[in-house]
Amino acid sequence: MDLALPETPGEPRRITILGATGSIGESTLDLVSRQPDAYSVEALTAYQNVPLLAKRAKRFGARLAVIGNSDLYTDLKENLAGTGIDVAAGAAAIAEAAARPADWIMAAIVGAAGLKPTLNAVRQGKIVALANKESLVCAGNLVHAEIQRCGATLLPVDSEHNAIFQVFDFEQPERVERIILTASGGPFRSWSQEAMAAATPAQAVAHPNWDMGAKISVDSATLMNKGLEVIEGWHLFPVEKDQISVVVHPQSVIHSMVEYVDGSTLAQMGSPDMRTPIAYTMAWPRRMATPSPKLDLTAIRSLTFHAPDRERFPALDLAYAALQEGGSAPAILNAANEVAVAAFLEHRIGFLEITEIVGETLTRMSGGSISSIEEVIAVDQEARNTAEDLIANLSK
């Protein structure tokens, strides 16, 4: 069976995975493991899980393994002693790993920490599979400029954007009425305000349909994930800001839709398994087989939809407002959210305070334009400091 698509027939395709110990990294490597001869792994990166990174680097014969936390260099070096696998550590080393020649790069670092590596991956002018939505949210214009300059192809991994990519008619974007992102509604979809106020991190990361990293799971619970995806969608597709809508669809079977002027609405459907959109980006422009369960619609029986509750989940409107404002607002939103989610996961703030911190950070900081990576990093840092101050004051 022809599952994979080497760049040159017979030659393994050279790939790099940024964020190789995460949920997306694991799903990607699962697909690689089913066709080991079709791929040659250039680099794998992670932030601090040395044993898992070392295990995966050995198992997949990576040429280079990079750990983001530089204190862990010796640890990784010892774990990989005698294997011939090169070892490096620190944020700059991860960005350098992304610049090593590869035919296909998975950008699956979580958060704005993925921005520089993603930009370096794009600069190779090859294919970048983008899971790291935060890099588009905080610096979409800069990522786009580099895509144009370097002739790279960016393929969306996020299931909603991958779905839209599959059904969007790029030859006549003016015939698109709107794109419709579906949202599962997260674990607190039907919880009262009081219950959400007391929600624990364990409850927030227990997503009903998807098995994901902790940060995106909390984002799904606040609906900030959908807000980030609205901004991501605006950067990925040629639509206006008011042509992006969100509908809650608890079964997560329809991954998103494109509505056309003639009344046709095209949807992409599938089981909630990230291996399907990842495989799409691996095989593009063709398709490859995956072990994702096929849809059994007669077993599912009903698909339901409702409008998001914007009062109980105000994060969505914060993201829409940041998109409308443009400039540095999305970067502020994203950075404040990263800080607030981390504080919630560390039991330093309550669940409802996540969105309050983000809103208050946006209110306190004046927006401006963003035209360089240095400016993005400065705004990101200022927003992190502001959010941390707000959190510190909450506990006083």
Instruction: List interacting residues with ligand NAD (CB under 6 A).
Output: 19-25, 46-47, 68, 94, 108-110, 113, 131-134, 158, 210, 212-213, 215-216, 274
Q: Which does 110 bind (CB under 5 to 8 A by kind): Mg ion, ligand NAD, none?
A: ligand NAD
Q: Which does 140 bind (CB under 5 to 8 A by kind): Mg ion, ligand NAD, none?
A: none
Cβ proximity to Mg ion: between 95 and 231 the closer is: 231
How far apart are CB 145 and Mg ion at their closest, in Å? 25
3 state SS for the chain? CCCCCCCCCCCCEEEEEECCCCHHHHHHHHHHHCCHHHEEEEEEEECCCHHHHHHHHHHCCCCEEEECCHHHHHHHHHHCCCCCCEEEECHHHHHHHHHCCCCEEEECCCCHHHHHHHHHHHCCCCEEEECCHHHHHHHHHHHHHHHHHHCCEEEECCHHHHHHHHHCCCCCHHHEEEEEEEECCCCCCCCCHHHHHCCCHHHHHCCCCCCCCHHHHHHHHHCHHHHHHHHHHHHHCCCCHHHEEEEECCCCCEEEEEEECCCCEEEEECCCCCHHHHHHHHHCCCCCCCCCCCCCHHHHCCCCCECCCCCCCCHHHHHHHHHHHCCCHHHHHHHHHHHHHHHHHCCCCCHHHHHHHHHHHHHHCCCCCCCCHHHHHHHHHHHHHHHHHHHHHHCC
CA–chain centroid gap for 269, Å, is 19
What, of Mg ion, ligand NAD, none, does residue 25 touch, CB below 5 to 8 Å by kind? ligand NAD
For ligand NAD, the closer CB: 229 or 360:
229
| CB closer to ligand NAD, 191 vs 210 | 210
* Greatest extent of the chain over all pairs of C-alpha atoms, in Å: 64
In the complex, which residue's CB is closest to ligand NAD?
22
**For residues 160 and 338, which CB has a smaller minimum distance to Mg ion in the complex?**
160
User: Which positions ≥6 away from 74 have C-beta within 8 Å?
Assistant: none
Q: Which is nearer to ligand NAD, 92 or 150 (CB)?
A: 92
Residue 131 binds which one of Mg ion, ligand NAD, none, with CB within 5 to 8 A depending on kind? Answer: ligand NAD
Closer residue to ligand NAD (CB): 226 or 360: 226
Binding site for Mg ion (CB under 5 A): 158-160
Using the minimum distance from each CB to ligand NAD, give the nearer residue, 193 or 381.
381
Q: Considering the complex, what minimum distance in angstroms separates the CB of residue 298 from ligand NAD? A: 26
Distance in Å, CB of 215 to ligand NAD, minimum: 6
213 binds, among ligand NAD, Mg ion, none (CB under 5 to 8 A by kind): ligand NAD
**Is residue 115 within 8 Å of residue 373, measured between CB atoms?**
yes
Q: How far is the CB of 276 from Mg ion (least distance, A)?
A: 12
* Smallest distance from ligand NAD to CB 373, Å: 16
Least Å distance, CB 47 to ligand NAD, is 3
CB of 322 to ligand NAD, least distance (A): 17
Least distance to ligand NAD, CB of residue 161, Å: 9
Contacted entry of Mg ion, ligand NAD, none for residue 380, CB cut-off 5 to 8 Å set by kind: none
Handedness of CA 269, 274, 275, 277 (dihedral sign): positive
Q: Which does 216 bind (CB under 5 to 8 A by kind): Mg ion, ligand NAD, none?
A: ligand NAD
Nearest CB to ligand NAD, comparing residues 20 and 282? 20
186 binds, among ligand NAD, Mg ion, none (CB under 5 to 8 A by kind): none
* Nearer Cβ to Mg ion (207/384): 207
Residue 107 CB, nearest distance to ligand NAD (Å)?
Answer: 8
At CA 189, angle to CA 302 and CA 311, rounded to 5? 125
